Amino acid sequence: MTDSVAIRLRGLTRRFGDVVAVDGVDLDVMDGEFLTLLGPSGSGKTTVLRMIAGFERPDAGLIELGGADVTRVPPYGRDVNTVFQDYALFPHMTVQENVEYGLRVKKVAKAERRERAQAALESVRLDGYGDRAPSQLSGGQRQRVALARALVNRPKVLLLDEPLGALDLKLREEMQVELKEIQRGVGITFVFVTHDQDEALTMSDRIAVFNAGRIEQLGSPTEVYEHPATPFVAGFVGTSNLLEQAAAQAVLGKPGTWSVRPEKIRVIGTDEPVREGEHAVRGTVREVIYVGMSTRFVVDLEVGGSLMAVQQNAEGSTDLGHMRGQPVLLVWNTRHEYKVAD
C-alpha cells in the first residue's frame, strides 16, 4: 500500500425515486489497498461500486481514479475491472481461453495473450489448469478463473461484488485467505463488497461500514471491531453488547451508551475478587451456549439489560450448562469499554 490515492469519492449521491441509495459518500481508497464496503442489504454498497465502475451515474458528487476526474467517463474509459458473484465463465472455452478472452477482444497479439493469461493463472495458483473446461473445476477454482480473467487486464483497481457469495462456508473461508494473499501478491487496489462481517475482518486493510447510504465508520478491522463508533457498528460488526444510559451510569459511573466485546468479559463467582482497573456488574446467567471452541453466556444484569460473555473452552470441564440460573459477576478491564453514543 502506498500513500497515493487510487479512488477518491466526494459527496457521492444516487437516488432511485424516493430512495436515497447513496447519500453523500466521501472516501479515499489508497493505492494497493484492500478496502471493504461492509453493510446490510440495501445499504448502498453495490451502488457505490457500480458508480466507481461507471455502470451507474451519480446524481451528485465526484469520482476520481488516480487523480483524474472520471465522473462522466463511460465504463470502458476507466482503468477498473469488476468481478461479480455470478461469474459466468464461457462453458465451451477452456480455462486458458476464458482468461485470454478480454485480451482477444482488445486485439492483443497471440503470444502476449498466452503469456499474460498464464501469468494471471499462476497468480491465482491455477497454473497447469489452462486446458481444462470450466465444468472440470470446483466452485473455488472457477471463482479463481473469474479473478484471473479480471487480473489479466492488469487494471489499476479491481471491484469485487460479493465474489464469494455462491461458495459454501468452508470454501469461502479458504478463499478469503487466498484472495487476500493474491491481492498482496499482485499489488492491485481491491474494493470488495460484502455483508459478512467475518469476511470483512479477515481480508481488509480497512473497512467502510455502510448504513442507509452513508459510511458510518471507516477504519482498520481492529479499529472497527474494538472501537465501534456508533451503536449500529457495534451491532453489525460483532455482537451488540451495550450498556445503555442508566445501566452505564450505575456500572461505569458515566453517562452514554457503551460497548464491551463479549470476549473481553470474564465470568466469575459473586464472591470472587475484582482486580484493579476492572469494572464489574452482577447478573444472572440466562443462557449457556456451547459452540465448540468457546462457550457463550447471556447474562441478565441487575441494573437492567443483558450482556454476552464468551469464554474459550481451553481446558477443564467445558460443560457449563449447570451455570444457567446462577448469579455471577461479569468483569472486564476498563480499557475495553468504548462509548458508542451520548
List residues binding ligand ATP (CB under 6 A).
16, 19, 21, 39, 41-47, 195
Minimum CB separation of residue 79 from ligand ATP in Å reads 23
Q: Between 19 and 177, name the residue whose CB sits nearer to ligand ATP.
A: 19
Shortest reach from residue 279's CB to ligand ATP, in Å: 36
Residue 100 · residue 112 · CB < 8 Å: no
Give least dist CB 216 to ligand ATP, A: 13
Give 242's DSSP letter.
E
Burial 271-280 (b: 16+ CB within 10 A, else e): eeeeeeeebb
Instruction: Tell me how far, at minimum, the Cβ of 73 lies from ligand ATP, in Å.
Output: 20
Report the nearest approach of ligand ATP to the CB of residue 210 (Å): 6
CA distance 246 to 265: 20
Instruction: Return the number of the residue (144 or 195) whose C-beta is nearest ligand ATP.
Output: 195
Residue 199 identity (one-letter amino acid): E
- Cβ proximity to ligand ATP, 87 vs 129, nearer residue: 87
Question: Terminal CA-to-CA distance of the chain, rounded, Å?
Answer: 36
Provide the grid cell at 54.
461507471
* CB-count exposure of residue 55 (10 Å: 0-12, 13-18, 19+): middle
Most distant CA pair in the chain, distance? 78
- Least distance (Å) between residue 105 CB and ligand ATP: 27
Number of helical H runs and strand E runs in the chain: 9, 18
Asked if 7 and 27 touch (Cβ cutoff 8 Å), the reply is yes
The label of the residue with cell 460488526 reads 237
CB of 333 to ligand ATP, least distance (A): 35
- Shorter beta-carbon distance to ligand ATP: residue 54 or 283: 54
Distance, CA of 277 to CA of 334 (rounded, Å): 6
- Please say whether the beta carbons of 126 and 145 come within 8 A: yes
What's the CA gap between 147 and 163, in Å, rounded?
A: 9
Identity of the residue, 176 or 257, whose beta carbon is nearer to ligand ATP in the bound complex? 176
Kindly state the smallest distance separating residue 217's Cβ from ligand ATP, in Å.
Answer: 16
User: Which residue lies nearer to ligand ATP by CB, 39 or 221?
Assistant: 39
- HSE (side-chain half, CA atoms, 13 Å) at 59: 14
What is the identity of the amino acid at 152? Answer: V
Q: CB-wise, 158 or 320, nearer to ligand ATP?
A: 158
Task: Check if the beta carbon of residue 8 is closer than 8 Å to that of residue 66.
Answer: no
Query: Is residue 99 within 8 Å of 121, Cβ to Cβ?
Result: yes
Of the pair 21, 208, the CB lying nearest ligand ATP is at 21
Measured from the CB atom, the residue of 22 and 309 that comes closer to ligand ATP is 22
Smallest distance, ligand ATP to C-beta of residue 40, A: 7
